[in-house]
A and B are shown apart, each in its own frame.
Chain A
Amino acid sequence: MITVILYPPERFDVNEWFILLSLALILTIAIMLPKRFPPVSITVFVVFTVFISQSVDSLIAVKPFDLYDVSDSSKYEVMDIVIYYLNYPSLAYIYLYFYDKWNVKGMYRILYIIGFSLISVFFEWIALLCHVFTYKGWKLWYSPFVYIAVYILYILMFHLQQRWLKIDLPSTNDKR
């Protein structure tokens, strides 16, 4: 028996292409945005994103729930790493970038969260069509609620890290 720690894709087909093309798009946008956050903040965003996505998946995508599979199978694959470490954090960066740039407050904050959740659901729907996700009990209409909760958590984390880094690194927010 050949033992593999990280499985390569079973077939390099539409889902892998979708993951790579969406990565190219999102990462390009994220990189082309003018510098706004210090490296410490970006590190916190990336870690938080990987933490949330991996924790949620390891909770509801495994038995006894086993609601969906990511990429080709329920095994941990190379493409899973690409999604967790590159796709999701890039999108989260864009979300927090415009949240901070537009100084979203009050009612607009709710609209911003809902708007981004709907965009995420739209992307998830395309990803579903491309077989990036295989639902085994999950429904697409569950997703907006999860995204809304996650995007609220992002905003809480954003303000928390800003407050903590203001104490620790006074120069962090002076640039704005």
Chain B
Amino acid sequence: MVILNIIMIIICTGILFTLRMMRTTLRPIEKMVYYMVIVIAIEQIHSAILDNLKLIKSTETLSALFFFKLNQLIVFPVGTLWLLFSFFHSKPRFLIKMLFLGGWFIVLTGSYILFQHLGILKLTGWNFGYSIVVWYVVLIESLCFSLVFRKMLGKCDNRDTISTRTLRR
């Protein structure tokens, strides 16, 4: 488990470094706020559905919690942030965005199955149906928030003047 956590720390460091690559589309304030909203959505849904309905049973060790929290606080939110980035980026085609969405969903769904194999948690009722609901809610919550927040910042499609000014700096 220690080696697994060390590997996870290295992966998370790499993932955090990728945040710098989002500069062209998301401003620092957006990255910070969207990240927090995604974490809130994931934790809230986790507590309300997975814990309350007893769909998973976590291994009650510190190392397992550390591994799970690294995923919950870094891997899942930053992955979702990249998905939002692709949605708001003007270059990728619709098909590419949908493929990215599919990839995001498969990775997140698969991660819980992987966690079970690694001994991090035990799935006691969790299935594909719940997975669709949970990640769909996380996505909708964070996407709706980001749309509203962009509107508040004055970033709306072609009228995105502030973004243009920021890019010129």
The interface of chain A, by Cβ under 8 A from chain B, is 3-7, 39-40, 43-44, 47-48, 50-51, 54-55, 58-59, 62-64, 75-76, 80, 160-161, 164-165, 167-169
Contact = CB atoms under 8 A, between A and B. Distances in A.
Max chain A CB contacts within 10 Å: which of B36, B62, B154? B36
B153 A168 contact: yes
Contacts of A44: 29, 32-33
B29 A64 contact: no
Contact of A51 (B40, B65, B149, B169): B40
A161 B33 CA distance: 10
A57 to B, nearest CB: 9
Contacts of B48: 5-6, 76
A169 B62 contact: no
Contacts of B69: 59
Interface in B19-51: 27-29, 32-33, 36-37, 39-40, 43-44, 46-49, 51
A80 B53 CA distance: 17
Nearest to B152: A40
Max chain B CB contacts within 10 Å: which of A51, A62, A165? A51
